[in-house]
Amino acid sequence: MKNAKWHRRSASPSELPNPGVPDVETGSGSSASRRLFLQRVGLGALLAGLFGHVSAWVRSLFPNVLYEEPRRIKIGRPEDFAEGGTFLEERRLFVFRERNTFYAISATCTHLGCTVKMILLPQPKRVRIGEQTKEERYEFHCPCHGSKYYGDGTNYAGPAPRPLVWYKLEVAPEDGQLVVNLEETVGQDFRLTV
C-alpha cells in the first residue's frame, strides 16, 4: 500500500454546505426564521401606526364639550329670604335683604379664592370708607390668610388686594324668582328693589 496514490477531488462551490443559508428543500435555517420574524415585526409596526392614525381621525369626529355652570342662576323667590344676610354655600354667594331691597356679594376672597365667613357684629359699627361714613352690621373674615372686609365688601386688613365682588340681581319675569348674574358685576351702591 505504499505505492497507493490518493486522489483528492475538489468540490465545486455549489456542492459545499453553507451553514448560514437555509436548505431550500426543507425550508429550515436561522435566516428563514429571522426573515419571518422581521416581516411580522414590520407588519405589526405598520398596523400599530395605521391604528393610531385611524383612531385619531375617529376621535376628531366627536368634539370636546365642556359643560359650564350657567352664569345666570335662579336663587329663589324674594319672600324666601329672611331680613339680613343669607349664605348660599353651593354658589359661594351672600344675598342680603333690607326690607324690600336685595343685593348679592361674592363669598370668594380676592386674595387666593378661599370662602369668607360672614360675622354678625354684636352692635352696629361706624366705619369710614373713603369719603363716606357707614354703619356696618356685618364683616367678612377669610379663615385662610386673615383678610378682613367691611359689610359692603371693602377690604381693610390682610393680604386681599381688592374688595369682594358684587353681582347684579334681577327678577325673572316668568316666575318672579331672584336671578343672580355672575357675568355682570356692579358697584357697591347697587340695590334691587322688589
Residue 190, amino acid: F
CA distance linking residue 135 with residue 120, whole number of Å: 13
Q: How many CA atoms lie within 13 A of 66 on its CB side?
A: 1
pLDDT at site 179: 93
pLDDT score, position 24 = 53
**CATH, range 72-193:** 2.102.10.10
Domain ranges of the chain: 23-67, 72-193
Alpha-carbon torsion (133, 105, 183, 175), positive or negative:
negative
pTM attached to this predicted model: 0.63
Over range 82-108, report the average pLDDT.
92
Cα distance between residue 157 and residue 146, in whole Å: 8
At residue 164, the pLDDT reads 95
pLDDT tens for 47-88 read 999 998 888 888 888 777 777 777 889 999 999 999 988 999
Least confident of 2-11, 54-63, 90-99: 2-11
80 three-class SS: helix
> Tens digit of pLDDT for each residue in 135-150?
888 899 999 999 999 9
What 3-state DSSP class applies to 91? helix
Residue 144 gets which letter from DSSP? T
Sign of the four-CA dihedral 40, 41, 47, 50: negative
